[in-house]
Structure 1
Amino acid sequence: MMIKFGLLLLGLAALCTAERKNVTLSGDNWKWVINNISSFNVHGRNESWAITTDKDSTITLLCEEISVAKRTGQNCLHGKLVFDDGFNNLTFCGTNKNVLIQGNSSQLLVDFVITPPYAGYFYCKGKSVHPPRNI
Protein backbone atom coordinates (compact mmCIF):
# COMPACT_ATOMS: atom_id res chain seq x y z
CA MET A 1 0.00 0.00 0.00
CA MET A 2 2.80 2.44 0.86
CA ILE A 3 4.48 1.75 -2.49
CA LYS A 4 1.25 2.61 -4.34
CA PHE A 5 0.93 5.81 -2.31
CA GLY A 6 4.55 6.72 -3.09
CA LEU A 7 4.00 6.13 -6.81
CA LEU A 8 0.86 8.25 -6.69
CA LEU A 9 2.78 11.12 -5.06
CA LEU A 10 5.57 10.80 -7.62
CA GLY A 11 3.04 10.93 -10.46
CA LEU A 12 1.36 14.01 -8.99
CA ALA A 13 4.72 15.75 -8.58
CA ALA A 14 5.54 15.08 -12.23
CA LEU A 15 2.19 16.54 -13.30
CA CYS A 16 2.66 19.66 -11.18
CA THR A 17 6.14 20.54 -12.38
CA ALA A 18 6.58 22.53 -15.55
CA GLU A 19 9.21 22.12 -18.21
CA ARG A 20 10.98 25.44 -18.72
CA LYS A 21 10.78 26.77 -22.27
CA ASN A 22 13.81 28.75 -23.49
CA VAL A 23 13.32 31.99 -25.43
CA THR A 24 16.19 34.12 -26.77
CA LEU A 25 15.74 37.80 -27.63
CA SER A 26 18.07 39.70 -29.93
CA GLY A 27 17.67 43.18 -31.34
CA ASP A 28 15.34 45.88 -30.15
CA ASN A 29 12.27 44.79 -32.12
CA TRP A 30 9.24 43.56 -30.21
CA LYS A 31 8.67 39.79 -30.42
CA TRP A 32 5.91 37.67 -28.88
CA VAL A 33 7.69 35.68 -26.20
CA ILE A 34 5.17 34.14 -23.81
CA ASN A 35 1.50 33.37 -24.01
CA ASN A 36 -1.01 30.69 -23.35
CA ILE A 37 -3.99 32.34 -25.00
CA SER A 38 -3.90 29.97 -27.98
CA SER A 39 -4.58 27.00 -25.72
CA PHE A 40 -6.48 28.71 -22.88
CA ASN A 41 -5.10 27.02 -19.81
CA VAL A 42 -8.31 25.42 -18.53
CA HIS A 43 -6.61 22.34 -17.09
CA GLY A 44 -4.49 24.15 -14.52
CA ARG A 45 -1.13 23.39 -16.10
CA ASN A 46 1.92 25.20 -14.72
CA GLU A 47 4.22 26.72 -17.33
CA SER A 48 7.73 28.25 -17.15
CA TRP A 49 9.97 30.26 -19.45
CA ALA A 50 13.61 31.35 -19.35
CA ILE A 51 14.02 34.47 -21.48
CA THR A 52 17.60 35.48 -22.25
CA THR A 53 19.47 38.05 -24.31
CA ASP A 54 23.07 39.22 -24.81
CA LYS A 55 25.01 39.52 -21.54
CA ASP A 56 25.38 43.31 -21.98
CA SER A 57 21.64 43.84 -22.51
CA THR A 58 18.47 43.76 -20.44
CA ILE A 59 14.98 42.48 -21.19
CA THR A 60 11.81 44.52 -21.44
CA LEU A 61 8.39 42.85 -21.61
CA LEU A 62 5.00 44.34 -22.40
CA CYS A 63 2.14 42.13 -21.27
CA GLU A 64 -0.94 43.41 -23.04
CA GLU A 65 -3.13 41.33 -20.78
CA ILE A 66 -2.66 39.14 -17.74
CA SER A 67 -5.78 37.44 -16.42
CA VAL A 68 -5.22 34.89 -13.68
CA ALA A 69 -7.87 33.54 -11.32
CA LYS A 70 -8.24 35.62 -8.16
CA ARG A 71 -11.04 35.68 -5.63
CA THR A 72 -11.94 38.91 -3.90
CA GLY A 73 -9.91 39.47 -0.77
CA GLN A 74 -7.31 36.80 -1.53
CA ASN A 75 -3.71 37.33 -2.64
CA CYS A 76 -2.95 35.09 -5.64
CA LEU A 77 -4.10 31.99 -3.78
CA HIS A 78 -5.39 30.21 -6.91
CA GLY A 79 -2.82 31.32 -9.47
CA LYS A 80 -0.11 33.81 -10.35
CA LEU A 81 2.30 34.90 -13.05
CA VAL A 82 5.77 35.55 -11.57
CA PHE A 83 8.65 37.45 -13.23
CA ASP A 84 12.15 37.15 -11.71
CA ASP A 85 15.29 38.73 -13.19
CA GLY A 86 17.54 37.87 -10.25
CA PHE A 87 17.15 41.37 -8.77
CA ASN A 88 13.39 41.86 -8.59
CA ASN A 89 10.48 39.48 -8.29
CA LEU A 90 7.09 40.68 -9.56
CA THR A 91 3.89 38.70 -9.05
CA PHE A 92 0.57 39.29 -10.83
CA CYS A 93 -2.88 37.79 -10.46
CA GLY A 94 -6.36 39.03 -11.25
CA THR A 95 -6.75 41.18 -14.37
CA ASN A 96 -3.94 43.51 -15.48
CA LYS A 97 -3.54 45.31 -18.80
CA ASN A 98 -0.49 46.84 -20.50
CA VAL A 99 1.99 45.78 -17.82
CA LEU A 100 5.53 46.98 -18.63
CA ILE A 101 8.33 44.94 -17.04
CA GLN A 102 11.84 46.35 -17.33
CA GLY A 103 14.38 43.76 -16.25
CA ASN A 104 17.76 44.54 -14.71
CA SER A 105 19.66 41.59 -16.18
CA SER A 106 20.07 39.54 -19.33
CA GLN A 107 17.84 36.76 -18.00
CA LEU A 108 14.21 36.76 -16.95
CA LEU A 109 12.49 33.71 -15.49
CA VAL A 110 8.71 33.58 -15.84
CA ASP A 111 6.52 31.10 -13.97
CA PHE A 112 2.79 30.60 -14.40
CA VAL A 113 1.52 28.77 -11.34
CA ILE A 114 -2.12 27.74 -11.24
CA THR A 115 -4.16 25.57 -8.88
CA PRO A 116 -6.76 23.33 -10.56
CA PRO A 117 -9.59 23.87 -11.37
CA TYR A 118 -8.68 27.53 -11.84
CA ALA A 119 -7.31 28.98 -15.07
CA GLY A 120 -5.72 32.05 -16.58
CA TYR A 121 -4.34 33.53 -19.74
CA PHE A 122 -1.72 36.09 -20.71
CA TYR A 123 0.23 37.34 -23.68
CA CYS A 124 3.47 39.27 -23.52
CA LYS A 125 5.94 40.53 -26.08
CA GLY A 126 9.54 41.37 -25.34
CA LYS A 127 12.68 42.97 -26.67
CA SER A 128 16.34 43.22 -25.86
CA VAL A 129 17.49 46.62 -24.62
CA HIS A 130 21.11 47.60 -25.22
CA PRO A 131 22.58 50.28 -22.93
CA PRO A 132 23.92 53.40 -24.63
CA ARG A 133 27.62 53.36 -25.38
CA ASN A 134 29.91 55.92 -23.80
CA ILE A 135 31.69 58.06 -26.36
Structure 2
Amino acid sequence: MSTATLTARLKPDELVRAVALLPPRELSKFMLHFDEWLLARTVSVDAQPARIADSYRLPVHDRVRVAELLVKNREQGLTEQEEGELDGYMSEMDRRLDAVADKLLAMAHRRSTPKRRAGI
Protein backbone atom coordinates (compact mmCIF):
# COMPACT_ATOMS: atom_id res chain seq x y z
CA MET A 1 0.00 0.00 0.00
CA SER A 2 1.37 3.40 -0.96
CA THR A 3 1.26 6.11 1.65
CA ALA A 4 2.05 9.78 1.66
CA THR A 5 2.29 12.24 4.51
CA LEU A 6 0.57 15.48 3.63
CA THR A 7 -0.38 18.58 5.55
CA ALA A 8 -3.93 19.92 5.69
CA ARG A 9 -2.78 23.06 3.88
CA LEU A 10 -2.56 21.45 0.46
CA LYS A 11 -3.93 23.44 -2.41
CA PRO A 12 -6.34 21.55 -4.68
CA ASP A 13 -3.83 21.27 -7.53
CA GLU A 14 -1.21 19.89 -5.13
CA LEU A 15 -3.66 17.29 -3.87
CA VAL A 16 -4.53 16.28 -7.43
CA ARG A 17 -0.83 15.86 -8.25
CA ALA A 18 -0.33 13.68 -5.15
CA VAL A 19 -3.34 11.51 -6.01
CA ALA A 20 -2.12 11.17 -9.60
CA LEU A 21 1.04 9.47 -8.27
CA LEU A 22 -0.93 6.59 -6.74
CA PRO A 23 -0.62 3.19 -8.44
CA PRO A 24 -3.82 2.02 -10.19
CA ARG A 25 -5.12 -0.21 -7.36
CA GLU A 26 -4.58 2.49 -4.74
CA LEU A 27 -6.11 5.11 -7.02
CA SER A 28 -9.23 2.95 -7.39
CA LYS A 29 -9.47 2.60 -3.61
CA PHE A 30 -8.97 6.35 -3.16
CA MET A 31 -11.68 7.14 -5.69
CA LEU A 32 -14.16 4.75 -4.08
CA HIS A 33 -13.48 6.07 -0.58
CA PHE A 34 -13.66 9.67 -1.82
CA ASP A 35 -16.99 8.89 -3.48
CA GLU A 36 -18.35 7.50 -0.20
CA TRP A 37 -17.07 10.52 1.72
CA LEU A 38 -18.67 12.87 -0.80
CA LEU A 39 -22.01 11.05 -0.63
CA ALA A 40 -21.93 11.19 3.17
CA ARG A 41 -21.37 14.95 3.08
CA THR A 42 -24.10 15.60 0.56
CA VAL A 43 -27.15 17.01 2.26
CA SER A 44 -30.22 15.14 1.14
CA VAL A 45 -33.71 16.62 1.27
CA ASP A 46 -34.99 13.16 2.09
CA ALA A 47 -32.56 10.72 3.68
CA GLN A 48 -34.77 7.64 3.24
CA PRO A 49 -34.42 7.40 -0.57
CA ALA A 50 -30.69 8.07 -0.24
CA ARG A 51 -30.32 5.21 2.26
CA ILE A 52 -32.31 2.91 0.00
CA ALA A 53 -30.26 3.83 -3.07
CA ASP A 54 -27.00 3.42 -1.14
CA SER A 55 -28.01 -0.10 -0.12
CA TYR A 56 -27.38 -1.41 -3.66
CA ARG A 57 -23.68 -0.59 -3.55
CA LEU A 58 -21.22 -3.43 -3.20
CA PRO A 59 -18.74 -3.26 -0.32
CA VAL A 60 -15.62 -1.22 -1.11
CA HIS A 61 -13.33 -4.25 -1.49
CA ASP A 62 -15.73 -5.74 -4.05
CA ARG A 63 -15.98 -2.45 -5.95
CA VAL A 64 -12.19 -2.24 -6.04
CA ARG A 65 -12.05 -5.76 -7.47
CA VAL A 66 -14.70 -4.91 -10.10
CA ALA A 67 -12.67 -1.84 -11.11
CA GLU A 68 -9.52 -3.98 -11.40
CA LEU A 69 -11.30 -6.55 -13.55
CA LEU A 70 -12.76 -3.86 -15.82
CA VAL A 71 -9.34 -2.25 -16.32
CA LYS A 72 -7.72 -5.62 -17.01
CA ASN A 73 -10.51 -6.50 -19.44
CA ARG A 74 -9.94 -3.26 -21.32
CA GLU A 75 -6.16 -3.57 -21.40
CA GLN A 76 -5.46 -7.26 -21.94
CA GLY A 77 -8.60 -9.31 -21.51
CA LEU A 78 -9.75 -11.61 -18.74
CA THR A 79 -9.23 -15.28 -18.07
CA GLU A 80 -12.29 -17.50 -18.07
CA GLN A 81 -12.22 -17.55 -14.26
CA GLU A 82 -12.03 -13.73 -14.11
CA GLU A 83 -14.93 -13.43 -16.57
CA GLY A 84 -16.98 -15.64 -14.28
CA GLU A 85 -15.98 -13.55 -11.28
CA LEU A 86 -16.96 -10.32 -13.06
CA ASP A 87 -20.25 -11.86 -14.22
CA GLY A 88 -20.97 -12.79 -10.60
CA TYR A 89 -20.40 -9.22 -9.45
CA MET A 90 -22.59 -7.87 -12.26
CA SER A 91 -25.39 -10.30 -11.40
CA GLU A 92 -25.21 -9.27 -7.75
CA MET A 93 -25.31 -5.58 -8.71
CA ASP A 94 -28.34 -6.22 -10.96
CA ARG A 95 -30.10 -8.06 -8.13
CA ARG A 96 -29.39 -5.21 -5.71
CA LEU A 97 -30.52 -2.59 -8.21
CA ASP A 98 -33.81 -4.44 -8.80
CA ALA A 99 -34.37 -4.57 -5.03
CA VAL A 100 -33.66 -0.84 -4.71
CA ALA A 101 -36.06 -0.02 -7.54
CA ASP A 102 -38.77 -2.09 -5.85
CA LYS A 103 -38.19 -0.32 -2.51
CA LEU A 104 -38.22 3.14 -4.09
CA LEU A 105 -41.39 2.39 -6.06
CA ALA A 106 -43.11 1.07 -2.93
CA MET A 107 -42.05 4.16 -0.98
CA ALA A 108 -43.29 6.47 -3.74
CA HIS A 109 -46.60 4.59 -3.83
CA ARG A 110 -47.03 4.89 -0.05
CA ARG A 111 -46.30 8.60 -0.19
CA SER A 112 -48.71 9.25 -3.05
CA THR A 113 -51.60 7.26 -1.57
CA PRO A 114 -53.89 9.53 0.50
CA LYS A 115 -54.15 8.45 4.11
CA ARG A 116 -57.66 7.53 5.25
CA ARG A 117 -58.98 9.09 8.40
CA ALA A 118 -60.63 6.92 11.00
CA GLY A 119 -64.43 7.20 11.02
CA ILE A 120 -64.75 8.57 7.48
Which structure shows the higher helix fraction? 2
Structure with greater Cα Rg: 2
**TM-score normalised per structure 2:** 0.24
Which structure shows the higher strand fraction? 1
